[in-house]
Structure 1
Amino acid sequence: MADHLSSFPLQECVYRNDIRQLSSLLRTSDINQKDKHGNTALHLAVMLGHKECIHLLLAHNAQVKVKNGLGWNPLAEAISYGDRQTILLLLRKLKQQSKEQLEERRPKLIQALKQMGDFYLQLKWDFQSWVPLVSRILPSDICRIHKKGSKIRVDTTLVDFTDMHWERGDISIVFNGDAERQQSLFILDNKQKVFQQIRYQESESEIEDEVDILMSNDIVAVQMSTRFITFNRAQTGFFFRADKTEMVGPYHAEFFSIGGLVFESRKRREHLTQEDLKKNKALMETLTKGSSSSLTETSNSEPIRRGSLPPPVKNSLSWNDYINSSHQPHLGRLLACKDVSKTFRATVAMCQDFPLSKAMLLDVLEVVAPVKHFSKLREFVEMKLPPGFPVKVDIPILPTITTRVSFQDFEFRDSLSDMLFQIPKDYTENPGRFPDL
């Protein structure tokens, strides 16, 4: 027991709501250390509703994005607890920390883009499902990427993809690494001839709107679990087995079977009322249709903000009971959680002489991360893959849906026009065209 008490002093101070001792320990302790249940001091402060501890930990830059043993970050726990001001504090801090991390990486990213050659790259996306008949209605897309210096242009027809809703169109993402950060990333709707700047800072009203949405919807955590992933050479032939090799476009590739790739989706709704549950479906439909109208109710043109929930029943576990428990004890509001997991058997084709490296691809994908399916591709490529470049991969998008990404064409080009990376003069700005970006 003495071991546990000495190992997690910040957590014990938070648990006991000892502000003075916590303040003293923060000078020398690792603020983001996890206890045996995976909780940081900030997790515990939020779940127990100890507001002074929360303020103190955030003032010392405790990380908001870190997950505990059950896969939830402090913001998720704050939404469950239901105190609006705490949710607002954590959301602001999360955005600030994300921007700081992006700013840290930006100079290296720009330098990496400038050092690699200028090129044209073509990707094909094929969405598939194991559910009968569903694959017939799923979209496909040819995506074209141009890169010149620190500039990138991505042309795609798949605007958004959420559950079984998707929006088709003709859009371009344009990034200019030489521009000021606030003016570096735009998304263009080439049919409507409008563009939207992807901003790095929201207004107070927009953050308050986001809090309303968080408080009135399911808390969702989605991830690809790779804890037990395996890669084995795919085999071909019936009587005489041999390692499978094929051409993917013009590239010779070795195929590997992926085992143990698990898509995990978790939803919590203990903070929602019956009325919320009824409204939730309509709200999500509005979001997936890309409506630019306000999702917040108004009265006399003033938004009606969602109020805090009554606090959950006070936790009666002692610190010793908590830290010595063999499983993660429940703290906070009684859980209403639904877990969905599916193990995928997929393939990846690796090419040993593809002109682009995985590191270069990751740099390019980081620029277009606001587009959801590109973010999934980046997450997959970041895994420890077999040697070579992944010219064809299967990626879980949803528990019932995967996408197959094929690198169909690549060539270095020295004569790309600067016009490709500029917003046409006849386009007008529409800040609400893509509300999720």
Structure 2
Amino acid sequence: MAGPGPTFPLHRLVWANRHRELEAALHSRQHDIEQEDPRGRTPLELAVSLGNLESVRVLLRHNANVGKESCQGWAVLQEAVSTGDPEMVQVVLQYRDYQRAKQRLAGIPELLNKLRQAPDFYVEMKWEFTSWVPLVSKMCPSDVYRVWKRGESLRVDTSLLGFEHMTWQRGRRSFIFKGQEAGALVMEVDHDRQVVHTETLGLAPPEPEVLLAAMRPSEEHVASRLTSPIVSTHLDTRNVAFERNKCGIWGWRSEKMETVSGYEAKVYSAMNVELVTRTRTEHLSDQDKSRSKGKPSLESRNIGRPIEMSSKVQRFKATLWLSEEHPLSLGDQVTPIIDLMAISNAHFAKLRDFITLRLPPGFPVKIEIPLFHVLNARITFSNLCGCDEPLSSVWVPAPGSAVPASGSPFPCEVDPSVFEVPEGYSVLGAERSEPLRDEDDDLLQFAIQQSLLEAGTEAEQVTVWEALTNTRPGTHPPPRAMAYEEQLQLERALQESLQMSTEPRGPGSPHRTPLAPTPASFEEQLRLALELSSREQEERERRGQQEEEDLQRILRLSLTEH
């Protein structure tokens, strides 16, 4: 196959891996480093797909965009992993994290400046993670993000830090952002250790060499990627449609309204929300492929090794509660906060993807969105300006006071001391001991692996132990004693779930029915738990339908009595 023609000079040099000429061409600044060839590939994408490491290094030194996705939806880093070359993965991963860090540092002052123009407020965002799977449901936590905004200052408090070794990590943290004349001050306050990490953005940005060196991945990180499948998940909202929910029985149905946090809200369903999951394995050894239970199909392409990929599409229904009376502005007050938190928080990133859709009118006082097949997130906004549960740091100005209302329909004053370092805390410099979280976020990985446990043949699933212990194929298992103890805990949780599903519910049955004999394997226990959960759901739906039919019959009788 012939290479690209003369109208694509950088692509032509990449094709032949003439990296010295490529360096000279880029120094001349006469060519567009992001130009796409007829197949939609930039020079960097072409160099990675061809495995031309020297050309890749040159393009990255000249700031070629690592974050761009191909026309097929694959990121440059994912294509680098598909080559199976450790050096390729190391350099692309390093520059990917470096470019993300630069974007983070550059974006925070702009977001704070946007917040400065909006009215001050305090609000609480309650996150509840839910699942219909009994074991997963027991593990799902909740958290309340408390948000203070005054001028260019923002503070977000949280207690849920992440998920690790089958345990939700808890701790009291505050993230404080303070706008300054030529930049922003960012503080991460660890209240448990009484330590504050500070970083000034915009005034004296870190040297590129220093930042790049800090983003160099470990050999273990590179090896784990090369021995794990490439997984791409995204919410496809191109065909999403919003519909008003109905209530009442047939003949008396009306559009549903509910009160959320004191505000009347219209209830909508977002239909046709699809989660697309694609898994590639062409870079794996036969041994690693045997650990990945999927059945990939082979897809040819014009360059590089053929793609081995399996894919699935799952359709969900999201729910929104929208209030047209709520005083908060989604675009001016809430979206900048979600953008800030999404930089390093996976579930905020999912929320941002959803609220950027063209929603029906009103403020989303409550949102329920799917994260993955068995995991949902329900977010509720409440306690606006401390009206439900008063707190000393926030108050509503008395009528006639000199406090400016900033044009807000709901004036609120926030104590400036909440944005200061608490007395007695140690103030340290920026903490760069670990890079920004990406698609390897522990919570995200847990959800991805759980989503693979849907109904189907065992050959199409990851092993139960891999899914439940949050270990990916190719990673080292936990120590034997720890693994044994965790398995015992999980089996006890499953047995408890099974027992709850089989015990009698009538008032005349005080004693529990004995459990059935323990299934032969842990996988069988999980299968049985899922089966029982599905039966319970069917029974609830049947009872609900019966109750509605009974109510309809009663209403008809009441109309005919007179």
TM-score bracket, normalised by the shorter chain, equals: 0.7 to 0.9
Q: 1:409 aligns with which of 369, 383, 386?
A: 383
Please give the alpha-carbon distance, in whole angstroms, between the structure 1 residues aligned to 2:235 and 2:121.
Answer: 30
Which residue of structure 1 lines up, in the alignment, with residue 244 of structure 2? 233
Please give the alpha-carbon distance, in whole angstroms, between the structure 1 residues aligned to 2:371 and 2:162.
Answer: 12
Please give the alpha-carbon distance, in whole angstroms, between the structure 2 residues aligned to 1:162 and 1:261.
Answer: 29
Q: CA deviation at 1:226?
A: 1.2
> Percent of aligned pairs with the same residue?
33
Q: 1:221 aligns with which of 232, 255, 260?
A: 232
Please give the alpha-carbon distance, in whole angstroms, between the structure 1 residues aligned to 2:172 and 2:290.
Answer: 34
Which residue of structure 2 lines up, in the alignment, with residue 125 of structure 1? 127
Give the RMSD, CA atoms, in angstroms.
3.9
Q: Verify the 8 A CA contact 1:266 1:338 in the aligned structure 2.
A: yes
Deviation digits for residues 166-200 of structure 1 (CA, Å, limit 9, x no counterpart): 2123222222222875x722322323323344798
- Secondary structure of 1:373's counterpart equals helix
> Structure 1 pair 89/184, CA: closer, same or farther in 2 (3 Å)?
same
Q: 1:255 aligns with which of 245, 267, 277?
A: 267
Which residue of structure 2 lines up, in the alignment, with residue 140 of structure 1? 142
Deviation digits for residues 295-330 of structure 1 (CA, Å, limit 9, x no counterpart): xxxxxxxxxxxxxxxxxxxxxxxxxxxxxxxx7617
Please give the alpha-carbon distance, in whole angstroms, between the structure 1 residues aligned to 2:195 and 2:75.
Answer: 37
Q: 1:367 aligns with which of 333, 336, 340?
A: 340
Question: Does the alignment pair 1:381 with 2:355?
Answer: yes
- Secondary structure of 1:110's counterpart equals helix
Q: CA deviation at 1:365?
A: 1.6
Please give the alpha-carbon distance, in whole angstroms, between the structure 2 residues aligned to 1:424 and 1:340.
Answer: 49
Which residue of structure 1 lines up, in the alignment, with residue 185 of structure 2? 184
- Secondary structure of 2:384's counterpart equals strand
Q: CA deviation at 1:401?
A: 0.5
Q: Which has the larger displacement, 13-22 or 133-142?
A: 13-22
Q: CA deviation at 1:138?
A: 0.9
Question: Does the alignment pair 1:244 with 2:216?
Answer: no
Question: Does the alignment pair 1:356 with 2:368?
Answer: no
Q: Verify the 8 A CA contact 2:267 2:321 in the aligned structure 1.
A: yes
Structure with the largest fraction of strand: 1
Q: Verify the 8 A CA contact 2:94 2:212 in the aligned structure 1.
A: no
Q: CA deviation at 1:76?
A: 1.8
What 5-or-longer segments of structure 1 have no aligned partner? 281-326
Please give the alpha-carbon distance, in whole angstroms, between the structure 2 residues aligned to 1:101 and 1:204.
Answer: 13
Q: Which has the larger displacement, 151-160 or 208-217?
A: 208-217
- Structure-to-structure mapping, 1:77-88, within 5 angstroms: 77-88=79-90
Deviation digits for residues 108-127 of structure 1 (CA, Å, limit 9, x no counterpart): 32221111121101111111
> Structure 1 pair 228/16, CA: closer, same or farther in 2 (3 Å)?
farther
Question: Does the alignment pair 1:342 with 2:314?
Answer: yes
- Structure-to-structure mapping, 1:321-340, within 5 angstroms: 329=301, 331-333=303-305, 335=307, 337=309, 339=311
> Structure 1 pair 230/14, CA: closer, same or farther in 2 (3 Å)?
farther
What 5-or-longer segments of structure 2 have no aligned partner? 293-298, 386-409, 438-562
Q: Verify the 8 A CA contact 2:215 2:435 in the aligned structure 1.
A: no
Paired amino acid for 2:261: G
- Structure-to-structure mapping, 1:307-318, within 5 angstroms: none
Q: Which has the larger displacement, 82-91 or 266-275?
A: 266-275
Question: Does the alignment pair 1:400 with 2:400?
Answer: no
- Secondary structure of 2:41's counterpart equals coil
> Structure 1 pair 428/328, CA: closer, same or farther in 2 (3 Å)?
farther
Q: Verify the 8 A CA contact 2:15 2:47 in the aligned structure 1.
A: yes
Q: Verify the 8 A CA contact 2:66 2:95 in the aligned structure 1.
A: yes
TM-score relative to the length of structure 2: 0.59
Q: Which is greater in Rg?
A: 2
Which residue of structure 2 lines up, in the alignment, with residue 307 of structure 1? none
Q: Verify the 8 A CA contact 1:124 1:406 in the aligned structure 2.
A: yes
> Structure 1 pair 21/192, CA: closer, same or farther in 2 (3 Å)?
closer
Which residue of structure 1 lines up, in the alignment, with residue 471 of structure 2? none
Paired amino acid for 2:221: I
Q: 1:76 aligns with which of 71, 75, 78?
A: 78
> Structure 1 pair 130/162, CA: closer, same or farther in 2 (3 Å)?
farther
Which residue of structure 1 lines up, in the alignment, with residue 423 of structure 2? 425
Q: 2:215 aligns with which of 181, 191, 207?
A: 207
- Secondary structure of 1:192's counterpart equals coil
TM-score relative to the length of structure 1: 0.74
Q: Which has the larger displacement, 421-430 or 253-262?
A: 421-430
Q: CA deviation at 1:65?
A: 0.6
Deviation digits for residues 85-115 of structure 1 (CA, Å, limit 9, x no counterpart): 4334333433443345445544432221111
Please give the alpha-carbon distance, in whole angstroms, between the structure 1 residues aligned to 2:82 and 2:272.
Answer: 31
- The aligned length equals 389
Q: CA deviation at 1:11?
A: 4.7
